[in-house]
Amino acid sequence: MKTRKKTSLTLRRCPAEVHDALKKSAVANHRSVNGEALTWLQKQAAAVQKPVTGKEAAAILRQWYQSLSKKDHLEIAERIEEARQRMNDEHLH
């Protein structure tokens, strides 16, 4: 397993309510404020999704498209046509 280099981080002008919430959370979780801040940051970093490539997006869309029923396809086509008609009508007036 590859070990990652640890980097120091300094926060300035932290709003009091954020600092208070961090302290309360640290006490509740039996951590230091620094340890709790790292936990918060790690959770946020894990929640951030990596960008989807074009190939991945195409596969997702293909899977979604195949999951639709014939009725779904017809309804979507009707809604698209209605939207196109509304847009045309708006441009004519």
pLDDT over threshold 70, residue 59 = yes
Give residue 41's identity as a one-letter amino acid code: L
Instruction: Provide the pLDDT confidence category of residue 91 given band limits of 50, 70 and 90.
Output: confident
pLDDT tens digits for range 6-48: 889 898 999 999 999 999 999 999 999 999 999 999 999 888 8
- Cα–Cα distance between 2 and 60 in angstroms, integer? 32
CB 76 within 8 A of CB 68: yes
**SS3 of residue 31 by DSSP:** coil
- Cα–Cα distance between 72 and 12 in angstroms, integer? 53
pLDDT over threshold 90, residue 81 = yes
pLDDT over threshold 80, residue 49 = no
Half-sphere exposure of 10 (CA within 13 A, CB side): 1
Instruction: Provide the pLDDT confidence category of residue 93 given band limits of 50, 70 and 90.
Output: low
- Nearest Cα to 39, choosing from 49, 25, 51? 25
- Cα–Cα distance between 41 and 4 in angstroms, integer? 16
